[in-house]
């Protein structure tokens, strides 16, 4: 560090281009190269200038996996680790050192424009799937960059909005996936978000970058800004941001001025650069892959697509065994599939399957009608669709969100399907009752109209390059659908917890979100939904048998074991996604009625049985404690729910945890004496013993008032009362 001129150190705090940084004649080895994204890497044939870096004509072909929402819908950690390894191999082939993904923010509202790029509404599922992705990437010697740290759940005014949030909600919900992945996998980079958090931009937040990331979690990797997220670079460097992207930066002069004036010390600059040198040492040891098997990689993408598709409705029409019947394929998405959500997730697919072609290989007697163009239809398009539907025995109707409705950079205005699509759907239903709907979207939709008039509904998300064969396999029954929803589908947008307040323009309040997000909200309040979290149908009939819960509080790795048998009574191999939820019952501790804390995707062969064991470690029972600024396990009553989804509980078991710590809210002397009696009984007993017993109405009064009354009535010296208060205060804050 001492050998590098100060001006060169300043240069190293910024990128040298859109995708390269750490390029200096004073540093041995090439510059470091990063690339989007979470669904497949975006690399360029040659350097691009200006704003055209998303034009596919400039891109090298790469494997385009299903979107992150679809990956999470697989509920298959092993499969998503394979995704990470596959993307890691392609990174090495193109000499990319760090992939900018995964995105592990939560789906706070179905209106979130970037929901397709985020895994789930649930922090545990998000953390588990994100961990698998990061593990896979980094097993290939390539870094993963988890993003966007933190509280970046909306696109509207994302560069300006200020998120107000309390410490517990922040850590227990929105920071949990970051905490989990950093603890388990230590990703090479963390990307800070655009927005403010409690008044400070995330790229400049001492609390986020120093107090939490470095000190509380012990993270030693690199913090990179989101592209253009730094506003005050001097503040960002002081508070823990390591590299500003993209570059060259217009803010470097401010850094030089601060160094000259002494408001930024060279030692602080050096400290900011150290993680970059450590990262550079890692990437120098990784060798480029000369060749990669792109066909095998596409097969991996198809595996994800196959397991991501969720069967939402089926009256028995699926699977379609009679492939000789006349089928109508209606909807432009059948020939021009909606494969991705755009923005930073843009990838040029190496292979692009087309659903129409995949279905045509199975159903030789098929007719096609576009039905709509983008969101709209016309009399001509409508007539063609009706003609095809009337002449068909069975109709596949493709619909979903358009690029104008759902993309990075803006939030959705509604969760409806395009009016033109719905008009076509209603028209073809009038002439043919046998409608199977295939959806392409990245987040929840209002499907009441579709549900009422279709015989089956398949949620196919944005399936990327593998948009055809997997869908065909499920339609014909070669594969049983095994996807499960990673978010709740509400009956109506007006039922969502943040209806009318999402998205705000300049300020958003997250402080009630422990029970105001996704299934936590709907299940805790027992509100009806269209499709619950974790839901998905199958072609198989799989039963749960011989369920046994075993509790061992001495084993931190398996406090609870749940053993059971899955029996497949059907003639088709099928996955069952077993889910384990915990309900916490501790008086005055705010918790949702149940929270996902474990899951496993299990293959059960036709007419076979499988023995399954789920285990819950001690950390599954944790709550974030604001007095200790960390996760703890409270003594109390917990109910375990073995389930098919959040509202289909197979078995329950209530247990007591007794050898951890006693729960007490963080109180002050302004709280009523009732709280002292409930949570700090030794002090309540002390007061009654040394002064006098309280009358019932006195338990409603503030602690300070009762102590003041005792002092006056008993003429207690100030120093004695002050000592008592100090000892009580220590317990309150311990």
Active site residues: 226
| CA quadruple 344, 348, 350, 354: dihedral, nearest 10 | 100
Beta strand spans in 410-519 (E):
435-440, 456-459, 507-509
Determine contact, residues 93/289, Cβ cutoff 8 Å. Answer: yes
CA separation, residue 572 to residues 436, 478, 480, 493, 538 (Å): 21, 9, 7, 37, 10
Say how far apart CA 307 and CA 305 lie, in whole Å.
6
Say how far apart CA 217 and CA 95 lie, in whole Å.
30
Cα 153 to chain centroid distance, Å, stands at 10
E strand or H helix at 722 = helix 718-733
E strand or H helix at 652 = strand 648-657
Cis amide linkage into residue 413, ω under 30° from 0:
no
**Phi/psi at 649 (5° precision):** -90, 125
Determine contact, residues 414/436, Cβ cutoff 8 Å. Answer: no
Q: Which two three-digit tokens encode residue 537?
A: 């149908």
Given the DSSP bridges, would you call strands 143-149 and 189-192 parallel, antiparallel or unpaired? parallel
CA quadruple 165, 167, 169, 172: dihedral sign: positive
Q: Which two three-digit tokens encode residue 342?
A: 């755009």
Beta strand spans in 23-152 (E):
32-35, 98-99, 143-149
Can you give the three-state secondary structure of 537-604, one letter per residue? ECCCCEEEEEEEEEECCCCCCCCEEEEEEEEECCCCCEEEEEEEEEEEECCCCCCCCCEEEEEEEEEE
Instruction: Say which residues have a Cβ less than 8 Å from residue 450's Cβ, sequence separation at least 6.
Output: 399, 417, 425, 437, 457
Listed residue (516, 522, 492, 481) closest to 646, CA to CA: 522
Listed residue (238, 245, 279, 241) closest to 259, CA to CA: 238
Determine contact, residues 641/594, Cβ cutoff 8 Å. Answer: yes
CA separation, residue 53 to residues 23, 98, 247, 462 (Å): 21, 18, 14, 22
Where does residue 517 rank: exposed (0-12), middle (13-18), buried (19+ CB within 10 A)? buried
Say how far apart CA 357 and CA 335 lie, in whole Å.
8
Determine contact, residues 442/462, Cβ cutoff 8 Å. Answer: yes
E strand or H helix at 644 = strand 636-645
Beta strand spans in 413-474 (E):
435-440, 456-459
Local structure of 158: helix, strand or coil:
coil
Determine contact, residues 574/482, Cβ cutoff 8 Å. Answer: yes
Q: Which two three-digit tokens encode residue 582?
A: 């915990």
End-to-end CA distance of the chain: 42
Determine contact, residues 680/731, Cβ cutoff 8 Å. Answer: yes
């Amino acid at each position: 560090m001492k050998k590098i001129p100060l001006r060169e150190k300043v240069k190293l705090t910024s990128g040298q281009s859109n995708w390269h940084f750490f390029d200096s004649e004073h540093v041995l080895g090439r510059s470091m190269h990063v690339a989007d994204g979470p669904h497949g890497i975006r690399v360029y044939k040659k350097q691009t200038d200006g704003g055209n870096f998303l034009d596919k004509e400039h891109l090298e072909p790469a494997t385009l996996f299903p979107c992150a929402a679809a990956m999470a819908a697989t509920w298959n950690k092993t499969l998503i680790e394979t995704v990470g390894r596959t993307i890691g191999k392609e990174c090495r082939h193109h000499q990319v050192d760090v992939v900018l993904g995964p995105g592990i923010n939560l789906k706070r509202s179905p209106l979130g424009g970037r929901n397709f790029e985020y895994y789930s509404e649930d922090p545990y599922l998000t953390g588990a799937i994100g961990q698998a992705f990061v593990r896979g990437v980094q097993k290939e010697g390539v870094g993963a960059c988890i993003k966007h740290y933190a509280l970046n759940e909306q696109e509207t005014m994302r560069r300006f909005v200020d998120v107000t949030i309390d410490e517990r909600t922040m850590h227990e919900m929105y920071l949990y996936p970051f905490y989990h992945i950093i603890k388990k996998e230590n990703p090479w980079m963390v990307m800070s978000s655009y927005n403010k958090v409690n008044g400070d931009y995330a790229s400049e937040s001492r609390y986020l970058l120093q107090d939490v990331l470095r000190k509380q979690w012990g993270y030693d990797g690199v913090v990179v800004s989101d592209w253009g997220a730094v506003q005050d670079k001097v503040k960002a460097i002081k508070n823990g941001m390591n590299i500003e992207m993209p570059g060259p930066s217009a803010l470097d002069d401010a850094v030089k001025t601060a160094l000259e004036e002494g408001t930024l010390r060279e030692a602080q600059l050096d400290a900011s650069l150290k993680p970059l040198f450590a990262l550079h040492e890692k990437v120098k040891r990784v060798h480029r892959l000369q060749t990669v098997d792109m066909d095998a990689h596409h097969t991996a993408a198809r595996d994800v697509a196959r397991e991501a598709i969720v069967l939402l409705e089926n009256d028995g029409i699926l699977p379609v065994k009679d492939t000789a019947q006349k089928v109508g394929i209606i909807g432009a998405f059948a020939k021009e599939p909606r494969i991705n959500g755009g923005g930073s997730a843009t990838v040029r697919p190496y292979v692009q399957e087309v659903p129409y072609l995949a279905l045509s290989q199975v159903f030789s007697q098929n007719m096609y009608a576009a039905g709509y163009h983008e969101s709209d239809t016309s009399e001509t398009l409508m007539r063609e669709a009706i003609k095809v539907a009337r002449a068909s025995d069975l109709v596949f109707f493709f619909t979903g969100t358009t690029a104008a409705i759902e993309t990075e950079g803006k939030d959705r205005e509604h969760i409806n399907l395009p009016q033109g699509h719905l008009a076509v759907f209603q028209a073809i239903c009038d002439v043919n009752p046998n409608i199977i709907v295939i959806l392409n979207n990245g987040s929840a939709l209002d499907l009441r109209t579709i549900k009422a008039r279709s015989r089956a509904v398949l949620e196919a998300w944005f399936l990327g390059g593998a948009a055809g064969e997997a869908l065909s396999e499920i339609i014909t029954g070669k594969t049983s659908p095994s996807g499960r929803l990673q978010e709740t589908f509400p009956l109506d947008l007006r039922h969502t917890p943040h209806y009318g307040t999402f998205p705000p323009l300049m300020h958003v309040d997250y402080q009630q979100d422990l029970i105001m997000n996704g299934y936590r909200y709907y299940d805790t309040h027992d509100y009806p939904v269209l499709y619950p979290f974790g839901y998905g149908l199958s072609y198989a009939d799989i039963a749960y048998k011989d369920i046994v819960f075993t509790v061992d509080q001495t084993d931190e790795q398996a406090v609870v074991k749940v053993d059971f048998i899955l029996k497949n009574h059907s003639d088709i191999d099928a996955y069952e996604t077993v889910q384990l939820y915990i309900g916490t019952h501790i008086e005055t501790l705010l918790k949702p009625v149940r929270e996902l804390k474990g899951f496993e995707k299990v293959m059960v062969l036709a007419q076979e049985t499988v023995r399954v064991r789920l285990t819950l470690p001690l950390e599954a029972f944790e709550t974030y404690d604001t007095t200790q600024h960390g996760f703890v396990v409270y003594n109390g009553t917990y109910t375990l729910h073995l389930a098919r989804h959040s509202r289909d509980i197979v078995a329950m078991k209530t247990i007591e945890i007794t050898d951890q710590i006693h729960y007490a809210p963080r109180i002050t002397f302004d709280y009523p004496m009732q709280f002292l009696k409930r949570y700090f009984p030794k002090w309540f007993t002390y007061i009654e013993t040394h002064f006098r017993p309280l009358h019932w109405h006195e338990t409603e009064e503030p602690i300070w008032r009762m102590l003041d009354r005792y002092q006056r009535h008993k003429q207690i010296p100030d120093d004695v009362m002050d000592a008592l208060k100090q000892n009580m205060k220590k317990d309150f804050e311990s």
